[in-house]
Structure formats: C-alpha cells, structure tokens
Structure 1
Amino acid sequence: MKKILRILALLMVFGLLFSACATPAAEEVPAEEVAPVEEAEEVVEEKLVVGFSLLTRTHTFYMLMEEALDDEAVKQGVEIVAVDANMDNATQLNQVQDFITQGVDAIILTPVDSAGIEAAIKLANDAEIPVFTMDTAATGDGVVVSHVATDNYAGGVLDGEYAVEVLDGKGEVAIIGCAGIESITLRTQGFQDAVKDYPDIEIVASTDCKCDGAIACDQTADLLVAYPDLALVFGTGDPFGLGAMTAITAANREVYVVSLDGLPEGIAEVKKGGLFLCTVAQDPDLIARTTLQNIVKYLGGEEIDPLILISPYVIDIKNAP
C-alpha cells in the first residue's frame, strides 16, 4: 500500500512539472484594419479646339495652308474646326461668332478684309478667346496675339528688282492687285519701291481684280488695248499673273509677267520658259505649322513673338523645281 501511495505521489509531482514547462497558448491579436485601396481616377486630358476661318478654299495657297494645319493638328493633338469665309467679310464675322458660342480655345483667321475683320476680333477679345492671324494681318484696335506671314513687302521688292533687270530699267508696267488685302498692299508697295529709282520705268495702271484670276485676265486684255507699249505685268498673286498670261497669249503680245506666290501652277508656267518669267515663292506649309505651334505654346503659358515673317525667294527658269 505504501508503495502505491509513493508511486501516486511521484506521478503528481511529474504532472505539476509538466504543467509548469508547457508553452502557454499564444494570445490572439486582432488584425490591424487595412484601409480599402481607392482606385485611381483616370484623368482624360481634353483636346485643344481651334477655330479656323480661312479666306477661301478656291485658291491653292489657302488649300495648302489648310492641309498643313490639319497635319500639324494631328501631331499636336489639337482639334481644328475649319470653315470657308468664301471671300465674304460678313460670313467671316458670323463664323467667329459661332466659334465663340462653341467655346473654342483659340481662333485663327486669314482675314477677308484687313480693316473689316476688326469687329470680329473684338468679339473674340471680349469672350477672352485668343486670336491669331496668318498670311494677311488685321488692322484696327482688335487684339491679335501673333501674326505669321510671308514677308510680303520683301516679296514685292524681289519682283520689282526682277522687273528692273529684265526691262533694263525702262518700260511701261501694270500691276494687277486686290483691294483690302494687307498682304497684297505690302507686295505692291515693295514692287513700287524697287522700281521708283528708275525714272524710265512707268507704272501706267494698277487694278483691283477682286482676287479673281478670271477678272485679272479681263483687266489685262483691256490694258493691252489701252497701253500698246505695255512691257510687263506684275501679278500680286499667281492666279492674277496666270490670268494676265492668258490674256497676253490670246492677244499674241510679247509682255512679260512676274508674279508672287510660288504655287504649283505658277511654277509650272515658269518652267515653260516663256513670258511668265518668275514667281516669288511663299511657304504656306511653314506659315500654318508655325501658327499652330505658337497657339499650343501660348495656351501652355509660353511667350511667343507677336510677328513672325518668313522670307520669300525667287523661282525662275534657272531654279524651278
């Protein structure tokens, strides 16, 4: 019996020792609450929208300008809303009003009338929409951020100098122009200044062909009758020079033509090696691209030049591409 009691006592001691050495159960620690992850909002950057009212879509120069503007717009991520003013100042005013209603970010104009566009520009100014012009500048009190164009005065000088050389400093000259267009006015002034130091060169007539080649043809036909000694015609644009060339050819007269634009049609006529001696070239592609690049910079907060003039150059039979 004593042996049994001794064994039981030993078992109780071992039980107590085992209990003391056992690893206590780990306390459950509540997991930290993790804030739900918010999905990042996708930021969609809206395209800049630029309204463009061009003088006409019937003139190759403006067609080339619009093509370049559309191409540059794709590169810049800009939407162009282009409309044709169709040589009508009232139409252009209405188009600017439409742009304002649409809330465009900027407006590009090739003005139908340099003075007449003032009211439209002021409306855009009041709506705090920046205005940019190409090719033809606006006059008056309307605020234009920047104007990009050919150096039209220099182009007229180049044509005048060419005329002086081919006429050997003497002869009767007529100018076929287009009233109300600032770029044409500058070309005319440049031509007149280039020949004014040659007293034997006489400008016998200056016409307004309404920027229409067919009218330029009719006017030249009348000039050929009125001035039998007419030696040269300065077409202030290739369509006018080509119109004059048509009349000269029909009359079988030997009257030279110098012109300004550098359009494919003008270059093709130069390459014939006939009386259409030269065209002073512009770069409608560069004008359009520079204008749109300036708009993007300006709306991005950069400063841009208020006037950018692109130098013209003579294309004649010696360098016609």
Structure 2
Amino acid sequence: MKWRTTTQRRAVIPAAAIAGITLTAALAGCSSGTASNTTGAAASGTCSNVTALVNDIQNPWNGTLASGMKTKADELGVNLTIQNAGGVVSDQTSQLQQAITSNPDGILLQATESTGLVPGVKLANKASVPVVTVNANIGEGADVVTFVGVDQKDYGIALAKLVEQALPNGGKVAIIQGVVGNPVEIDRTEGINETFAANPSIDVVATVTDSWNNADNLAVVQDLLAKYPAGQLDAVVAEGPEMYVGAKYATSIGRTDVKFIAGDFPIEVKEAIESGDLYGTVLQDGATIGAQAVTDLCAHVEGKSVPTPTDFLDLPSITSENVSQYDTTWNW
C-alpha cells in the first residue's frame, strides 16, 4: 500500500494501466485503518455498475490498484467509475455521498482516513449499497462486506524474516520507519520489532524514519553509514520501496558490507535486487488487490459468499533467487 509523500518524489503511472478509467474530481496528490464491522449478508442481483473511490490515484502504487480494478471489471463486463480523492478526506466523503445517490450496485473504498469515512459508509448501509474496503480499511461503526488487502503486521514480519535470512548468524540492524503514527507504519513496525525481539542474535542499533520518501531515505542512510562504519552495521530494513535509493548510495561508496531490505516491488526495486544493491523485498501487489476487490464485491452482489471480515492476500518475499519469476510495471 502507499502514502502521499512530498513533491520530491514524482508519481509515475503507466499510461496503459490507466487507459479507459473514468476519473471524477480533480487530480491531486494511505493508511490502513482498524478492521470495521462487517456484514456477510449477500445481495442477489447483477453486478454491472460499480464506483471505486481511490485515495490518491497520482500515487504510483494506487495507480496499480486502480488498473487492477479496471482490468477485472472489464473482464467481468462491469461498468467501473473510479473517483480520485487526491488524499483529501473531505473530498472522498463528498464522493462517497454522491456515489450513494447514484445507486451503484456497489462501492469499492480505499479510505483516505479510517474514522472520517465511517459516517459515509453508514449512509451506504442505510441505502443498502454494499461497500468493500480495499487496502485501507475504515474504523468501527459501519458495515462493510469485507476488507481486501494484506495484513500489515504480517508485512512487517516478512520484512524482518528477510533480514534474518540475509544475516543467518545475526548482526546489528537499523530500522527505517515510514510515516510515524500512520496505522500501516504502526503495524509494520510492530511486526518487525516482535520478530527481532524473539531473535537474540539480532541487535537493533537504530530506529529512524524516512516518511516513505526517496530524498529522506537517502539522508537517513547517509547518516547511518556515517555513524556506523564497517563492522558496526550489518543490515538496514525500510518499510517501503524508497530503500532502493539508500541502497544504491551505499554501493556507490563501497559499503557492500550492509544488506538492505525494502518493501513493495516497483521497477526500481526489481532492478536494485537484480544489481545486488538490495537484498530483497516483500511484494504487496496493488493490481492483484484491486482485481480481488472487484471479484469479491461482484460475488456479494450476485448472492455468492465472500471471505469475511477480511480477504487477505499473500505477501511473497523476493530476493535474487526468485526475482526473475516476478514482473512489475510501475515506478516509485
């Protein structure tokens, strides 16, 4: 999943991925909330008209999410309208209210904020419009069919396991958090810390933040490598794809003694694994999540059962050993 960052990182969305998507609201510049109450009661009808509300489609990972929704909707013969909130909760609230008024067969919601969208989803409940939350959930108080995405704590555990794989004899490790206080950051950090706490051979020497931003990642990696010379730092794990920037810098100054682990799988991360700059990453595939969300919503509308309260997807780890088995089309 991705979050709005500063303008120092330019979002790049492949044109082919977005072609044919209907966008409503001005384009501009995620967090995963707590699990909401869910309803397993299925409707019984035809899934032909769906509205998807995306946090910020200018964010490259969200672009892959939207393209996955579009591809699956086309496959199922569903008319899909995608609206972009530009990361603004008030805009998404208005979009949700408007979507309910248009009476679609269902709504896909990547929430801009966990609690702020609860009243809007309650309105959808009252109007009997089913809602599936995608990648970013809402808080307690409203009913959704299911949440489609990944378990962010498991994501953190997978990152930590990659570190342990890279350091079979243990070592000194630095953790780079994303946006501190973001629900996704909290869950990923919890997974990392719990895993390391159970492994006495891992010594966490520093915990810093780069706010999921390329420029900040470079700055914190420069600081870490200056503070911890060879022999005092064995690995650095970041909670997002921006880790490729710091890893490339480390290679450029000859610090090949440090292993670097990233999250997610844009083109830059794949290339960094292939070149040896990055040890590995955890794949949270936006297109797969988007496609599954459409599948689950339409299954519900057509009276079929869907996994509840969550439909978690797998989080494969990628290293040089299996990177050739995976492809990617988006940039960070």
Which category of TM-score, normalised to the shorter sequence, fits these structures?
A: 0.7 to 0.9
Indicate whether 1:317 and 2:327 are aligned: no
Q: Which amino acid aligns with 1:197?
A: A
1:129 and 1:184, CA in 2 relative to 1: closer, same or farther beyond 3 A?
farther
- Deviation (angstroms), 1:305: 1.5
1:206-235 deviation line (CA, Å, top 9, x unaligned): 4260x4333433444455556664443322
The secondary structure found in structure 1 opposite 2:143 is: coil
Which ranges in structure 1 are unaligned for 5 or more consecutive residues?
A: 1-44
Who wins on radius of gyration, i.e. which is larger? 1
Report matched runs for 1:73-222 at 5 Å. 73-167=73-167, 168-179=169-180, 181-199=182-200, 200-202=202-204, 204-207=206-209, 209=211, 211-222=212-223
- Measured against aligned partners, the alpha-carbon deviations of 1:145-198 in whole angstroms (never above 9, x if no partner) come to 111112433332222122123233220312221345544433222222221123
TM-score (ref. length: structure 2): 0.72
CA offset at residue 258 of structure 1? 0.7
CA distance in 2, matches of 1:145, 1:231: 44
Residues 1:289 and 2:299 aligned together: no
In the TM superposition, what is the alpha-carbon distance from 1:292 to its structure 2 partner?
0.8
What residue ranges of structure 2 are gaps of 5+ in the alignment?
1-44, 325-332
Secondary structure at the aligned position of 1:50 is classed as: strand
Alpha carbons of 1:184 and 1:116: their partners in 2 closer, same or farther (altered >3 Å)?
Answer: farther
Aligned partners of 2:171 and 2:233 also within 8 Å: no
Question: Are the equivalent residues in 2 in contact too, given 1:113–1:181 (CA < 8 A)?
Answer: no
Cα separation, 2, equivalents of 1:241 and 1:180: 19
Is the CA contact 2:248–2:272 (under 8 Å) kept in the aligned structure 1? no
* Counterpart check, 1:233 vs 2:229: no
CA contact (8 A) 1:150 1:312 kept: yes
Where relative contact order (Cα < 8 A, 6+ residues apart) is larger, the structure is 2
Alpha-carbon shift at residue 53 of structure 1 (Å):
1.7
CA distance in 2, matches of 1:46, 1:298: 10
Could you say if the C-alpha distance between residues 47 and 175 of structure 1 is closer, same or farther in structure 2, counting changes exceeding 3 Å? same
Q: Is 1:277–2:279 an aligned residue pair?
A: yes
Q: How many residues align?
A: 274
User: Which has a greater percent of helix?
Assistant: 1
Go from structure 1 to structure 2 and tell me whether the alpha carbon gap of 1:295 and 1:165 turns closer, same or farther (over 3 Å shift). Answer: closer
Change (3 A) 1:244 1:118: farther
CA distance, structure 1, for counterparts of residue 213 and residue 105 of structure 2 = 33
Contact 1:154–1:311 under 8 Å retained in 2:
no
- The answer to whether the 8 Å contact 1:235/1:244 transfers is no
Residue 291 of structure 1: how far off its partner (Å): 1.3
1:242 counterpart letter in structure 2: Y
Matched, 1:257 2:260: yes
TM-score, with normalisation over the residues of structure 1?
A: 0.74
Give the aligned residue type for 1:269: A
Deviates more, 1:161-170 or 1:300-309: 161-170
Give the share of equivalent positions with the same residue, in percent: 23
CA distance in 2 between counterparts of 1:81 and 1:220 reads 41
